[in-house]
Amino acid sequence: MGEGVDRAAGAEPPALRAWLLAGLVAAAVLVVDQVSKRAIEHSVVRGEEQRFLPGVQLVNTRNQGVAFGFLPGKHLWVTILIALALVVLLVYFARHATRPLIWLPTGLLLGGALGNILDRIRHGDVTDFVKLPLGWPPFNLADAAITIGIVLLFLLAEQTRRAPQ
- 151 closest CA partner among 71, 70, 67: 67
Is 125 tagged catalytic? no
Q: Which of 33, 119, 125, 128 is catalytic?
A: 128
Is 33 tagged catalytic? no
Which regions of 2-148 does DSSP assign to beta strands (E)? Answer: 49-53, 56-63, 126-131
Q: Which of 6, 33, 125, 143 is catalytic?
A: 143
C-alpha 54: how far from its chain's center? Answer: 25
> Which residues are catalytically annotated?
128, 143
